[in-house]
Amino acid sequence: MDYRSLADRYGTPLYIYDFDYMASQYNALKGAFEGKKSLIAFALKANSNLSVIAHFAALGAGADCVSFGEIKRALIAGVPKYKIIFSGVGKRDDEILGALKEDILFINVESEAELMRVEAIAKELGKPARISIRINPEIDAKTHPYISTGLREHKFGVDQESAKKLYIHAKNSPFLEPIGAHFHIGSQLTELEPIKQAAQKVAELVRSLVALEIDLKFFDVGGGIGVVYKNEKTIDLKEYASAIFGAIKDLDLTIVCEIGRFLVANAGRFLTKVLYEKDTGKKRFVVVDGAMNDLIRPALYNAYHAVEAIGCEGETSLCDIVGPICESSDFFAKNVALPPTKHNDLLLVNTAGAYGFVLSSNYNTRRRSAEIAIQNGVDRLIRERETYEDIFASELKLLETTR
């Protein structure tokens, strides 16, 4: 890859996505589910660029959305409405209404109060809402505490007993149509066992519903398959699929997999330019033009991202790679060995395709990066670098009210 040419043509900082890698990840996961009905619903929260969504839609993927904004993105990008699901712990009335009007596949409901809102809004609209209930299986996912979600102390889902009551309520309501069961125990999972146990528990609940003549059609296993940032072990897709097949072997259900990171993380790289080096006598810093507003994972989770210095040679020494923002947490890597770098050298931050650009902000009035796709060896722009005019637009017109 000629990163110098990409930097010259598109500028830095820059997100670069390998669309072929995304397709191979999608095909590997879809392939693992072969022999059973399945829907791979790309979790847009991981990377919601319209061209990325359209790329997955063309491969047959659906979309897992957590806001009406994401539902709009999915529809604009060409995801069929019958492949869109709406998840998330809190949904506004207007979002529920929007989802029902768009007639998406189903809404994942996370609490009794939410079920009542969905029912009331469906009643106003005069048509039943297809729903699935997120069950909290009370299983420790063994991942970073900020992205672990399967225990009762977490805000997500409802316990199994309460879920059963909600299904019975839904079955008896003319405005609710219970069609699925859902769980998601966390993200960046590296062990299969917790997922297997969760699938078994939720399948058990589904079986107990059959006896009540509540016949569900969808078994939503959430997302969470981990990827390699450094040297993490990974979940074998065949074993993953067979754990799920095993849990539901006697049930006729379509598997829905709301997967984000696995599809995009290692397809993405973040390209940034060295501004200068600085040595405080205690520490060597490499100051770059990207910052925590572009990629916040190191600051937020102390996440590791491998960094490569492109074309730099010489004896390596330890350094921190930092951005220009006025916060000590503005770093990409700490105590990593890099050769000497100079003004305009390029650094590549790896595994940046998931929860990268989507978490970016305008902090310090920095423009959000451009994004490009590489497909069949050809690069193309899929998001223009933000302009200062873009940033000021919604304030500028109101400035006169202050002056």
Q: Is the dihedral of CA 162, 164, 167, 172 positive or negative?
A: negative
Q: How far is the CB of 376 from ligand LLP (least distance, A)?
A: 26
**377 is written with which tokens?**
């060896």
Q: How far is the CB of 234 from ligand LLP (least distance, A)?
A: 13
Q: Is the dihedral of CA 177, 180, 181, 183 positive or negative?
A: negative
SS3 76: helix
Q: How far is the CB of 98 from ligand LLP (least distance, A)?
A: 19
Residue 85: in which H helix or E strand, if any?
Answer: strand 84-86
How far is residue 336 CA from its own chain's centroid?
27
SS3 347: strand
Contacts of 54 (CB under 8 A, 6+ apart): 77, 78
The whole-angstrom separation of Cα 269 and Cα 359 is 15
* Residue 274 region by backbone torsions, left for phi larger than 0, else alpha for psi between -120 and 50, else beta: beta
The residues facing 199 across adjacent strands are none
Whose structure tokens read 């696995």? 262
Q: How far is the CB of 147 from ligand LLP (least distance, A)?
A: 5
Of 224 and 323, the one with the shorter C-beta distance to ligand LLP is 224
**400 is written with which tokens?**
């006169």
Query: 257 catalytic, yes or no?
Result: no
Of 287 and 359, the one with the shorter C-beta distance to ligand LLP is 359
Of 175 and 262, the one with the shorter C-beta distance to ligand LLP is 262
Of 25 and 341, the one with the shorter C-beta distance to ligand LLP is 25
Of 4 and 334, the one with the shorter C-beta distance to ligand LLP is 334
Compute the residue count for the chain: 403
SS3 208: helix
Residue 273: in which H helix or E strand, if any?
Answer: strand 268-279
Q: How far is the CB of 286 from ligand LLP (least distance, A)?
A: 23
Of 6 and 84, the one with the shorter C-beta distance to ligand LLP is 84
The whole-angstrom separation of Cα 106 and Cα 94 is 16
Q: How far is the CB of 377 from ligand LLP (least distance, A)?
A: 28
* Residue 318 region by backbone torsions, left for phi larger than 0, else alpha for psi between -120 and 50, else beta: beta
Taking residue 329's Cβ as centre, other Cβ atoms within 10 Å add up to 13
* Residue 105 region by backbone torsions, left for phi larger than 0, else alpha for psi between -120 and 50, else beta: alpha
**185 is written with which tokens?**
């125990």
Q: Are 375 and 20 in contact (CB under 8 A)?
A: yes
**19 is written with which tokens?**
């669309």
Catalytic residue among 65, 257, 312, 326: 326
* Residue 233 region by backbone torsions, left for phi larger than 0, else alpha for psi between -120 and 50, else beta: beta
Q: How far is the CB of 262 from ligand LLP (least distance, A)?
A: 6
Q: How far is the CB of 174 from ligand LLP (least distance, A)?
A: 28
Residues that bind ligand LLP (CB under 6 A): 43, 46, 64, 87, 147, 184, 187-188, 222-224, 258-262, 297, 301, 355
The whole-angstrom separation of Cα 300 and Cα 294 is 12
Of 286 and 296, the one with the shorter C-beta distance to ligand LLP is 296
Active site residues: 326
